[in-house]
């Protein structure tokens, strides 16, 4: 059952206030994703440097080619973990509007780790525009209901693509993404630190308001 604030008319001001209440949690999520991405890049560059050194000393190009492949494979686990942590940008607003409470760092990561341990959460990072558009609904169902993974995914698609308000919600998502992209480009990426979390709070509120989540 959602909190009373979840179904109110969404506004940028309300999304901003919700974001401010969650600044410590959002900052830790940004930090965690950045650290994981940096570790993945460091592993890749280390393997590439080793491969470059070996190929230089032996005169063989195959050593560098193998190192390039290994570097990409070495980065994969960090990329997956970074993407999983990044899902919390959507999950935190979902939990906030469901409970009406401020979500702490501990609560957010506890939920994430329990879901990862349960397997199947990787579906949240499957690429594709159609999947991305249902993510606010899907993540909400995964974090806040006992539905099986496949049922939650199917119900989310139904809510977005077969409901009366689904089309307007998709349009709202696209506009939000474009606005976030514009802010990010105009600020050389720095604006994304604020634009991304504020937009997720706004979209989660909008999903409740439009009846896509109950």
Contact 111, 91 (CB under 8 A): yes
Calculate mean pLDDT across residues 88-106: 90
CA–CA gap between residue 214 and residue 209 (Å, rounded): 9
Residue 27 pLDDT > 80, yes or no?
yes
Calculate mean pLDDT across residues 39-44: 83
Which helix (DSSP H) or strand (DSSP E) does residue 72 occupy?
A: helix 61-86
Residue 154 pLDDT > 80, yes or no?
yes
Confidence of residue 58 (pLDDT cuts 50, 70, 90): low
Confidence of residue 116 (pLDDT cuts 50, 70, 90): low
- What pTM does this model have? 0.75
Contact 202, 12 (CB under 8 A): yes
Confidence of residue 181 (pLDDT cuts 50, 70, 90): confident
pLDDT value for 201: 94
pLDDT value for 146: 85
Distance between terminal CA atoms of the chain?
6
Calculate mean pLDDT across residues 138-156: 86
CA–CA gap between residue 43 and residue 107 (Å, rounded): 30
Question: What is the domain partition of the chain in residue ranges?
Answer: 4-209
pLDDT value for 54: 62
CA–CA gap between residue 189 and residue 34 (Å, rounded): 13
Give, as one character, the DSSP assignment of residue 102.
P
Task: Give the residue from 141, 138, 134, 92 showing the smallest Cα distance to 112.
Answer: 92
pLDDT value for 197: 92
Calculate mean pLDDT across residues 151-166: 88
Calculate mean pLDDT across residues 90-100: 91
Q: At what angle do helices 192-209 and 88-99 cross, to 10 degrees?
A: 40
């Amino acid at each position: 059952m959602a909190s009373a604030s979840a179904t109110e008319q969404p506004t940028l001001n309300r999304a901003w206030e919700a974001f401010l209440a969650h600044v410590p949690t959002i900052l830790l999520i940004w930090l965690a994703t950045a650290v994981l991405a940096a570790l993945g890049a460091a592993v890749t560059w280390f393997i590439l440097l080793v491969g470059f050194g070996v190929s230089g000393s032996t005169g063989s190009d195959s050593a560098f080619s193998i190192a390039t492949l290994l570097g990409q494979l070495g980065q994969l686990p960090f990329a997956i973990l970074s993407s999983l942590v990044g899902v919390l940008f959507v999950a935190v607003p979902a939990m906030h509007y469901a409970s009406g409470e401020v979500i702490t760092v501990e609560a957010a990561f506890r939920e994430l780790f329990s879901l990862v341990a349960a397997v199947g959460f990787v579906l949240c990072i499957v690429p594709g525009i159609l999947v991305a558009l249902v993510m606010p609904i899907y993540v909400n169902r995964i974090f806040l209901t006992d539905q099986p993974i496949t049922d939650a995914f199917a119900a989310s698609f139904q809510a977005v693509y077969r409901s009366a308000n689904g089309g307007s919600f998709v349009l709202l998502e696209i506009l939000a993404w474009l606005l976030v992209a514009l802010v990010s480009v105009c600020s050389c990426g720095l604006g994304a630190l604020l634009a991304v979390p504020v937009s997720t709070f706004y979209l989660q509120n909008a999903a409740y308001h439009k009846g896509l989540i109950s």
